[in-house]
Structure 1
């Protein structure tokens, strides 16, 4: 019997040149894949699984927009990836910088849809406010976002890409993220949560869960669902009034979620998670800043685990609403703290470039 000979193993470079040819059909978006999906994808095109970690590093940490930038991959592999995949990501359309150092970005996705996000530096810390939807359906009277209508939900990667882009532009690590930009995050629950988990992951931005906060207008079923998630993510509730008629007027999109139901679900949330939610309260002159509204807010908060953020209303074009006086704001602080409710006044950043809460409009001037 003739002696069998073992085939000579080709070099790694040759192996990549002889890899599985590009697949037909739509290209895969590598930025939309988690680690396991990237491993499966690399194997499906004839590449060893360890390549997934290399690609992931370029996509998640270095936020590259071209396969040519992946310099630790061979030219042959880069060409192969370009044939079968895309890098998704975002394109910066415009940017403005505030006198306080904040930067507002208009970012566009591959389909032309655009959103705004904001970076807020503070020494070696960098907070980023990202959007979860292009536009918004909630119709809050004090918010500029809904004026342009609703376009679509964002994917988890599109939400994540905003924070990654801001960090890259500042040249520093993102240390906290608030999902308080355009849109109602809990009307895009699954993609929002996936983005938060990716930001939290060491394979993503590596931000501690307690430094990632999602804000909701008060979508009761999703608050209840959020309470069962295992991570220690933060929760902010856009309250703005504890008087039903006023809240319905200011926030018609959550009219069906009564204040009674909202109070009950927040009580359940704190009992289940032992985490302190934040109640956002925009102080609007002559609308929600009189004594009856203060009494109602005290009743809503008294005896519960919560923190109240009083936000002087941020004016924007087209709105007739005005911010409350300093005297009224001080009065709210004094009374709330007097009954044991933790209270702060949040001075919004980036107001000179319309980058503050309620001012994002999907465009830059």
Structure 2
């Protein structure tokens, strides 16, 4: 039996089409969306200006997706990770990152949410906890957006910055990603500006080109982690399908179409990709694409042998990029103490529940 579609995954267009198919006027779509996104109700019965027949119709065709928060790690005002249980019992994790606070537990100047797009991940990056979990399924648009609603319930603040850098490969869930982006950016939806949204990919080259035509001014980050095929092949299986000779032209096409800088995310792993020679390769690639670089010392993951380099070495790597004129930031501790690397909280939960883990 087919499960009803989540109402939080519907756009104005899809709702209008549904209403038209049942002989109902288009203005009802705006009323429904206002109840969901402005008034934040969570049942059709509370939509008091809708006739009972329409409420019953909506109830028969749409669901309110469960996003039960089962665990929160971290303190208010600091980076926090939370685990949500979905309708089918699967769990997905998200990370709340405050830019600044007015004191312990005070209001944030900006709240960023790291959003997941899949339950687990099929891409199997060798340094990532999500890769240990394997792939279960794609998230639907309602579940993607539901993470934002859950984060706002937890913080009692507006989420105003999004990064699709959580569990999963966003561009492998392209249609649901785009529908979620439509809802997130729409004035009738969450109304978050496209420039405050970054989609990160491990290197899904064809869909980088597809996403370049998306009309909102979203940003792109590439989880590069190696500037040569030798390094990427060692740690990122996706590179064997779309090596740099295919990935780099896709990134260049994005940069040309969007007229904005790409961010290269580069996790520094001791003895793997942190040599000064590797920094030189990275600088050359960043220059070629007019990209900026975000360096991230590796977050250790239980069950994996990778290690983070000493901070002094990370700084030498950063300085090598600076000397080449590359805009570069080195991310210091933001969640290392709460297992903020993708998949770690879900991995621990599965172990606590006695479920098998893929290793």
TM-score of the pair, normalised by structure 1: 0.85
Query: Residue 110 of structure 1 corresponds to which residue in structure 2?
Result: 87
Is the CA contact 2:76–2:155 (under 8 Å) kept in the aligned structure 1? no
SS of residue paired to 2:241: coil
Q: Distance in 2 between matches of 1:210 and 1:82?
A: 35
> Aligned pair in 2 of structure 1 residues 228, 66: CA closer, same or farther (>3 Å)?
closer
Shift of 1:50: 3.2
Q: Distance in 2 between matches of 1:72 and 1:184?
A: 40
Q: Distance in 2 between matches of 1:26 and 1:359?
A: 29
Once the two structures are overlaid, the 10-residue window that deviates more, 94-103 or 204-213, is 94-103
**Structure 1 unmatched runs, 5+:** 1-24
Instruction: Specify the structure having the higher radius of gyration (Cα).
Output: 1
Say which of 133, 143, 149 aligns to 1:158.
143
1:142 has 2:127 as partner:
yes
Q: Distance in 2 between matches of 1:236 and 1:287?
A: 21
Shift of 1:348: 4.7
Query: Residue 308 of structure 2 corresponds to which residue in structure 1?
Result: 323
Query: Residue 238 of structure 1 corresponds to which residue in structure 2?
Result: 223
Is the CA contact 1:138–1:184 (under 8 Å) kept in the aligned structure 2? yes
Say which of 153, 168, 173 aligns to 1:168.
153
TM-score of the pair, normalised by structure 2: 0.86
> Aligned pair in 2 of structure 1 residues 139, 118: CA closer, same or farther (>3 Å)?
same
Q: Distance in 1 between matches of 2:90 and 2:258?
A: 36
Query: Residue 263 of structure 2 corresponds to which residue in structure 1?
Result: 278
Say which of 192, 198, 213 aligns to 2:198.
213
Query: Residue 222 of structure 1 corresponds to which residue in structure 2?
Result: 207
Query: Residue 11 of structure 1 corresponds to which residue in structure 2?
Result: none
Shift of 1:44: 5.4
Shift of 1:76: 7.2
Shift of 1:119: 1.6
Q: Distance in 1 between matches of 2:276 and 2:28?
A: 63
Shift of 1:128: 0.7
SS of residue paired to 1:120: strand
**Structure 2 unmatched runs, 5+:** 100-107, 353-359
SS of residue paired to 1:207: coil
Is the CA contact 1:100–1:350 (under 8 Å) kept in the aligned structure 2? no
Show structure 1 runs of 4+ deviating over 6 A.
none
Query: Residue 104 of structure 2 corresponds to which residue in structure 1?
Result: none
Q: Distance in 2 between matches of 1:227 and 1:29?
A: 27
> Aligned pair in 2 of structure 1 residues 108, 64: CA closer, same or farther (>3 Å)?
farther
SS of residue paired to 1:165: helix
Say which of 313, 318, 322 aligns to 2:298.
313
Is the CA contact 1:104–1:119 (under 8 Å) kept in the aligned structure 2? yes
Query: Residue 105 of structure 2 corresponds to which residue in structure 1?
Result: none
Superposed, 1:235-274 pairs within 5 Å as: 235-274=220-259
Give the aligned CA root-mean-square deviation in angstroms: 2.4
1:298 has 2:269 as partner:
no
Work out the number of aligned pairs and report it: 341
